[in-house]
Amino acid sequence: MADYQIRHLYRESANFFQGRPLPLRPIQRGQQAHAASRRWQHPLCITNGLFPTVEDQEQVSRFWRAEDGTSEFPLFFRRHSQLVSQTMAPAEPHLLRSRIKALQGFILVLSLAFLSPASASVTDRMAVDSSNSATGPMRVFAIGNPILDLVAEVPSSFLDEFFLKRGDATLATPEQMRIYSTLDQFNPTSLPGGSALNSVRVVQKLLRKPGSAGYMGAIGDDPRGQVLKELCDKEGLATRFMVAPGQSTGVCAVLINEKERTLCTHLGACGSFRLPEDWTTFASGALIFYATSYTLTATPKNALEVAGYAHGIPNAIFTLNLSAPFCVELYKDAMQSLLLHTNILFGNEEEFAHLAKVHNLVAAEKTALSTANKEHAVEVCTGALRLLTAGQNTGATKLVVMTRGHNPVIAAEQTADGTVVVHEVGVPVVAAEKIVDTNGAGDAFVGGFLYALSQGKTVKQCIMCGNACAQDVIQHVGFSLSFTSLPC
C-alpha cells in the first residue's frame, strides 16, 4: 500500500517540527563504522572532500584497497573513480577547517530554521523492538511509514456499509475505524505495506541474504504490529520498529470488488516515528540510504538526519522519493534543504511537475507535462537536477529519475566534470489483461533500481531493473513479487 493518502491529515498540524535539534555527527564516526564493515564494499565514488585528518584519509584509502592492492570500483559511475584519489590527498589545513565550519554552520541553520526543541521527544517515550538484527552485511537502509495491508474480496454491500466509493483511496474517518475488525469475516490476507517498506522488500528479495536491507519506522503495541514485524522477518528484512505506546499500527483495508480496488487507511503510529539515538549502529555497513517524502509529515528531522549522516560517509549515497504532489507543496523549504544532500531523486511526472512549479524550475506552461512531450520532461528533470547541485559541481553523484507510466523513463545525470547527460529508457509492454493492480509500481521500480545500484550497474541498467520489478508487481493484487530468479 503506497501511503500517499496522508494529503489532508497533517495540513492543520502546527507542531510537526517539534523534536530534538539535528545532532552534529562527526565525520570520523561514519568512516570508522563503515571501515569496519569490509564484507561489502560498494564504490559509488561519491566524495565530499571532508576528511578532518590525514589519518582519516589513510583509513579510507585502506578501506577502498582490495586485499591484493587492486581497485574494487565497479561499473556504476566509473568515471567518478578518479575523484577518490583526489579527495584522499591531504587538503590545505585552512581550507579544510573552513569547509568543516561551513558544514557545521549549515547544519546549525537547518536546526534553527526547521527544528524547534521540545521538552520531551517522542523517541524518549517509545520502546524499541530490536529483536530482529541484520545478519548482513546491510547494503540498503530506509525509513518510512510501515502499514499492514489487509487484502480481501468484498461485496458491494460492504463498501456501502462504510460509505466507500469503489476505486477510491481515503483515510479512515472515526466512523470507519471498525472496518478493520469487520473485515475479518472475509479472511483477509495480511501483507507488509507502506512505500519505503515496499521498496526495501524488493531489495531484500533480490539480494536474498537475510539482513541485506534494513528498515525503521513506528508501529503500535498491538497484534497488528507483531504481525507486520513477523511478515518482515519472514522475508529476511532487518527491521527496527519503534513501538508507540497507546497508538495502533498503521493499517490499510485493501478491498477488492468487481476487479477494482478500494483503499481505506489509518496511519496510526506512523506519525510518531523519531530516529533513535543509536540508529547508525543498526544501519552500520549500509552505503545506500533511502527515504520517502512521506516521512516529512511526521517530522523533517528524520530524513534530514539520515541525509546528513550519509553525506558525511565516503562513497555513501542518499536517495529520496518525491512520493506525492502534496509533499512537494507542503514541505517546500524542508525539501529544498534535503535535496542539497540528495544524490538520487525519484518521482513520477506528476510529482516532478509540482516540483517544477513550486520551485519555478521551468516556464509555467511546461509544468503541465504531457507524456508525449519528452522535451518538457527532459527540461523539468534538468531543472530538478539544479536543486540537487545548487549550481555547483562537487564531484558527487547527482541523478534525477522520472517515471512516466508506460512511456520511457527520463533521467538527468550530472557527471564528474559537471556535464549533464540525459538518459531515456523504454518501458516494456505488459498486456492489458495481465495488469491487475498498478498500486506500488513506483515502489517496486525504486526497489529494483536500488538493488541494481548496489550491484554497481550503470544508470540504464538500474532503470531497466526497476522497470522489470514494477512489471512484476502490477500483475498481482497487493504488493507481492512472483519471480523466482533475478529479473535483472
Percent of the chain with pLDDT over 90: 54
Choose from 171-175, 375-379, 392-396, 398-402 the range with maximum mean pLDDT.
Answer: 398-402
Residue corresponding to grid cell 504531457: 370
Query: 11-31 burial by CB neighbour count: b if 16+ within 10 A, else e?
Result: eeeeebbbbbebeebebbebb
pLDDT at 111 over 60: no
- Decide if 127 is inside a domain: no
pLDDT at 50 over 60: no
- Decide if 450 is inside a domain: yes
pLDDT at 284 over 50: yes
Q: Half-sphere exposure of 486 toward its Cβ, with a 13 Å CA cutoff?
A: 12
- Decide if 159 is inside a domain: no
pLDDT of residue 418: 87
Compute how many other C-beta atoms are within 10 angstroms of the C-beta atom of residue 156: 11
pLDDT at 448 over 70: yes
Higher pLDDT, 165 or 66: 165
pLDDT of residue 280: 95
pLDDT of residue 367: 66
Q: Which of 366, 352, 319 is nearest to 338 (CA)?
A: 319
Compute how many other C-beta atoms are within 10 angstroms of the C-beta atom of residue 105: 10
pLDDT of 220-246, one tens digit each? 999 999 999 999 999 999 999 999 999
Higher pLDDT, 84 or 479: 479
The catalytic residues are 443
Of 406-410, 426-430, 434-438, 467-471, the range with the lowest mean pLDDT is 434-438
- Decide if 173 is inside a domain: no
Confidence of residue 101 (pLDDT cuts 50, 70, 90): very low
- Residue 224: which CATH number? 3.40.1190.20
pLDDT of residue 44: 33
- Decide if 89 is inside a domain: no
- What mean pLDDT, rounded, does the chain reach? 76
pLDDT of residue 391: 73
Alpha-carbon span 168 to 4, nearest angstrom: 12
- By residue range, what is the domain housing residue 375? 140-147+193-249+267-474
Confidence of residue 437 (pLDDT cuts 50, 70, 90): confident
205-211 average pLDDT score:
94
pLDDT at 110 over 50: no
- Decide if 397 is inside a domain: yes
Confidence of residue 135 (pLDDT cuts 50, 70, 90): low
449-465 average pLDDT score:
96
pTM of the shown model:
0.72
Compute how many other C-beta atoms are within 10 angstroms of the C-beta atom of residue 106: 14
pLDDT of residue 373: 82
pLDDT of residue 412: 96
Number of folded domains that form the chain: 1
398-412 average pLDDT score:
95
pLDDT of residue 186: 96
43-47 average pLDDT score:
31
- Decide if 168 is inside a domain: no
Percent of the chain with pLDDT over 70: 70
383-387: long-range contacts, CB 8 A cutoff, minimum separation 24: 383/356, 383/359, 384/345, 384/352, 384/355, 384/356, 384/412, 385/412, 385/413, 385/414, 385/420, 386/361, 387/336, 387/339, 387/340, 387/355, 387/359, 387/361
